[in-house]
Amino acid sequence: MVLELAEPGTFLALLSDGDRDAVLRLGGQRRFARGERLMHDGDPGDHILILLAGHVKASIVDSRGHEMVLSFRGPGDVLGELTFASGDPRSSNVTAIEPVVARAVAASEFRAFLERQASAALTLIHVISRRFRAANSARVQFGDLDTVGRVAARLIELSERYGDQTDSGIQIRLPVTQDDLGSWTASSRAGVANALRTMRELGWIQTERRRITVLDPDAVRQRASLRSASGPADP
Q: Where are the domains of the chain?
A: 2-140, 145-224
User: Do 213 and 206 contact (CB within 8 A), yes or no?
Assistant: yes
Calpha distance 81→110 (Å, rounded): 10
Contact 50, 103 (CB under 8 A): yes
Answer with the residue of higher pLDDT: 63 or 139: 63
Whether the CB-CB separation of 6 and 56 falls below 8 Å is answered with no
DSSP element (H, E) containing 83: none
pTM: 0.84
- Rounded Cα distance between 54 and 76, Å, is 10
In this predicted structure, the answer to whether residue 2 has a pLDDT above a threshold of 60 is: no
Tell me the CATH number of domain 2-140, given options 3.40.309.10, 2.60.40.4070, 3.40.1190.10, 2.60.120.10.
2.60.120.10
CATH architecture of the domain formed by 145-224: Orthogonal Bundle (1.10)
Considering only 131-135, 140-144, 197-201, 227-231, which range has the smallest mean pLDDT? 227-231
